Amino acid sequence: MNTRRLLLFFLLALGAIVLSACSGGPLANNWAGLAADAEHAYLASGSFIYAVELESGKEVWRYPAKADGKLLFYANPVPTSDGQLLIGSAGAKHPFVSLDPATGKEKWAEAFTKSKGGWIGSPLVLNDTIYAPNADGFLYIIDMDGKEAADPIELGGALWSAPSTDGSLLYVTSLDHRFHVIDPAVGETNEPIDLGGAAPSSPVIGSDGVYVGSFASTIEFIKPNGEHEVIAATESWIWGSPLLDGKTLYYADLSGKVFSLDLASGNQNWDTVQPDGPVVASLLIMGDQIYVATEAGTLVALDREGKTVWEKTVGGKLYTTPVISGDLILVAPYQAEFVLAAYDAAGKQAWTFAPEK
């Protein structure tokens, strides 16, 4: 092979590498999904789902045993009351699987593979039925053995968030700006509601309706009969779910502002809190503290008056909504030296977890 042929091969290979590196295909990435039960944290971080012992921060198992470039896990895994851990792949291959939370072994005889798209949103389990939202715009209905329980419901736009439920109805947001109310027995009950912008997070259930934020930079209150109104507006997109605490609704936007809205009066309790970066993750409450995870990599604990109780630099970028288990706050930083960290309510770091290669 002469020099020119070698040069040609080199140029073609370089072109392939450059284009592959830029691709949104198999190399697509995202922040991790996180869940926990009493014993383990479950982290869906790219090629693997890790089970991490809460006591020690050590890896218990990982799934699959060997990385498969076509399997990518980003959704929050969902532990069920009958001892399953549900999650689907968002990669080029997109099986929806049930794992044993204790061992990481597959529980179903076969994975559910009827979706055309990947799984970015988490499923909801209601009355022994799994409602699994897919990026192909369908809400799949699966029994607890992994078999299709009913025809999927076509909702149109990509579904990136877990459905919410008040125990009887399902509330689902889709990226095509719409909000859906679904009766599992009959399907969609009303015409979908136009939110004016994409809604990438789950609605929050209140006593007489639901609250949902969107890229229209608004919080909407929606009643089960479809009546809805904008109850708050922000400067920038609202990515995470609002946090309902009695008669107060907390929420944050991509400008980095955190808000406290008095639902009784419709007035802001405070709107001057602005930590060190945009907020993508949903807010979290434990005891008297509200936790805010910022893109700048800081975990901030606020009291109900909006005063900072403590703040910790976790590192990386915090997009994943923190999770509470027992007295630990679990945080999954993106592009950091470790993929999971645990803090106590005083902000003291208990452990960090970085998977072995």
Partner 1 sequence: MWDTIIIQPMTNLLLLIYDFLGHGPHMFGLAIILFTILIKVITWPLNASQVKGAQAMQELQNDKEWQAIQKKYAKDKEKIAQEQMRIYKERGINPFASCLPTLVQFPIIIGLYQSITRALSATPFDMLKLARTIYPFQNVEGIIPLNSTFLWMDLGRPESIQVLGFALPTLAIIVALTTYIQSKLTMPASTNPNDQGAQMTKMMSIYMPLMLGWFALNFASGIAVYFIISNVLGVVQYAATGRANWSNLLPGGGQKKSSAKK
Site residues for partner 1, 268-297, by CB under 8 A, read: 280
Binding status of residue 5 toward partner 1 by CB under 8 A: yes
From start to end of 203-333, where are the E strands? 204-205, 210-213, 218-222, 228-233, 243-245, 248-252, 258-262, 268-273, 284-286, 289-293, 298-302, 308-313, 323-325, 328-331
Q: Binding partner 1 by CB under 8 A: which of 197, 315, 347, 355? A: 197
Q: Which is nearer to partner 1, 74 or 343 (CB)?
A: 74
Q: Which is nearer to partner 1, 26 or 187 (CB)?
A: 26
Binding status of residue 157 toward partner 1 by CB under 8 A: yes
The stretch among 153-161, 205-213, 226-234, 267-275 that binds partner 1 (CB under 8 A) is 153-161
Buried b (16+ CB within 10 A) or exposed e, 289-319: bbbbbbbbbbbbbbebebeeeebbebbbbbb
The stretch among 139-147, 164-172, 190-198, 304-312 that binds partner 1 (CB under 8 A) is 190-198
Q: How far is the CB of 214 from partner 1 (least distance, A)?
A: 8
Length reported for the chain? 357
Binding status of residue 93 toward partner 1 by CB under 8 A: no
DSSP symbols for 176-235: TSEEEEEETTTEE-SPPEE-SS---S--EE-SSSEEEE-TTSEEEEE-TTS-EEEEEE-S
Amino acid identity, position 181: V
Binding status of residue 176 toward partner 1 by CB under 8 A: yes
Contacts with partner 1: how many residues (CB under 8 A)? 44
Lookup: tokens for 338: 């470790």
Binding site for partner 1 (CB under 8 A): 2, 4-5, 8, 12, 15-16, 18-19, 22-26, 28-31, 74, 90, 92, 116-118, 120, 136, 157-158, 160, 175-176, 196-198, 200, 215-217, 237, 239, 254, 280, 319, 334
